A = this chain, B = another copy of it.
C-alpha cells in the first residue's frame, strides 16, 4: 500500500480518491474548498493546507483540478508540488489541460528527480463513481506501467498514448470528435422541428443506424425534454475546445469544424449557459425562432 496525495476533490476527484482510499491506500488531501473533502476526511483521509505541505508525505500525488491555470499553480506555484516533492515521487495530473503544459511539467520534474504522467480521463461523474473511466496517459512507459495498479482502481480503458503530453493530446481528440458530433446532433434536431416533424420519431428512425452516436442516444433526448442539467459543463467544454484549437494551430493544423464548435459554445456560454450541460447547444436554434 502507498501513501497517496490527492489534490482537487470536486465531483470527479472525490470519486477517484475514494477508490484509492477504499483499496487501502493512505490518502492525503487538499482542495480549494475544504467542505468538498469532508466525506473523504470522515473516512480517514488526512488534510493539508497546501500542495507543498502534502507532497513530502506522499509516494504518489494525483491532481484533478479545473483549468490549466490551476494546474500551473498547483505544480509551479510558491506552495506547489514540484519544489516540495521528494525525489522519486510520482506526480499524476488527471486534469484535462494543455499538452505543452504537461510537457513543461515533465521537463521540470525530471530535472528534480521526480516522475510524472499526464492522465486525463473521460467517462464523467458516472465513470468516476463506477471506476469505469477511460484514462489516456502520456509519459515514460515504465512510469505508466508502475502506475497501472492505481489506474486500475479508477478506470477500465487505460491506454499509454506516448511521451509526456500525449495523454492530453488524446483527450483533445476525444473532445474534437464530440464537438463535431454535437453540431450534427443539434442541427438534425433543429431541422426536424423546423420541418414540423416529431423529433422523437426521427430519433426512432436514425439513432441506431449510421447517424448513431453516444450523444444522439444520450443527449438528444435531454435536448428534446429541455433538460440542460450538467453532465459535462459548457464552461469546461469551452476550455477544452480552446486548448484543442490553440494546440492545433501551434501544429499548423486547420480544423474548421472545431473552430465552428468553439465559436458556437463560446456564444452559448456568453448567452448565460456556462453552467449548463453541453446539450444546451440546441438552444442556439431554439432562440433563432420557431420549432
- Residue numbers of A with Cβ under 8 A of B are 99, 122-124, 127, 134, 136, 157, 159-162, 166, 169-170, 172-185, 187-192, 194-198, 201-202, 204-206, 208-216, 218, 232, 244, 247-248, 251-258, 260, 264, 285, 288-289
Contacts and interface: CB of A to CB of B under 8 A. Distances in A.
Copies in the complex: 2
Given A184-B178, A188-B174, A214-B213, A162 B198 contact: yes
Contacts of A253: 190-191, 194, 285, 288
B257 A184 contact: yes
Contacts of A185: 177, 180
Contact of A257 (B172, B202, B257): B257
Closest 5 CB pairs of A and B: A180-B184, A213-B213, A183-B257, A177-B188, A177-B211
A260 B260 contact: yes
Given A161-B197, A187-B180, A209 B173 contact: no
A170 B192 contact: yes
A127 B208 CA distance: 12
A205 B188 CA distance: 27
Contact of A191 (B122, B195, B214, B248): B248
Contacts of A173: 188-189, 191-192, 197, 202, 206, 211
